[in-house]
Amino acid sequence: MKNVTKSILFMLAIFTAVFAAACPERTSIADIETNPSKYQNKEVAIAGTVKDSYGISIPGTPLRGGAYKIDDGTGSMWILTEDSVPAKGAQIGVKGLVGSGLNWKGRNYGLGMYEKDRRFKKR
């Protein structure tokens, strides 16, 4: 019985380590702005409030996407998405790739992030 318990605990520890390694650690926007080369083309996670958003979404067509600005209290950053943009005031967490000189449809957004995943704060 001891061997079965040890095996289960060992497998649980391995699963937890693998799962935790796959999730990016939340980073503050101030850290990214202070040293953008450290985060360039790396996947990071940030969370904050949407302060500004511009987007397009035409139902029945593949046209959608946009950009929105998120503020975490330490700074703000533009996020580019190929999905619909969140409303101003929404509290969200975003995971994606950091890039500098982001351009989308002729507009330059400077230091920003290409969105891979988004989560809304639960009420």
Contacts of 119 (CB under 8 A, 6+ apart): 92, 93, 94
Tell me the pTM: 0.71
Contacts of 9 (CB under 8 A, 6+ apart): none
Query: Residue 109 has what pLDDT?
Result: 62
The long-range contacts involving 64-69, CB below 8 angstroms and separated by at least 24 positions, are 65/104, 66/104, 67/104, 67/107, 67/109, 67/112
Q: Kindly state whether residue 93 falls inside one of the protein's structural domains.
A: yes
Q: Write out pLDDT tens, residues 69-116.
A: 999 999 999 999 988 899 999 999 999 999 877 666 676 667 889 999
State the residue range of the domain holding 78.
Answer: 25-120
Q: Write out pLDDT tens, residues 2-11.
A: 777 766 666 6
**Measured between alpha carbons, how far is 79 from 85 in angstroms, rounded to an integer?**
9
CATH of the domain at 44: 2.40.50.140
Q: Kindly state whether residue 64 falls inside one of the protein's structural domains.
A: yes
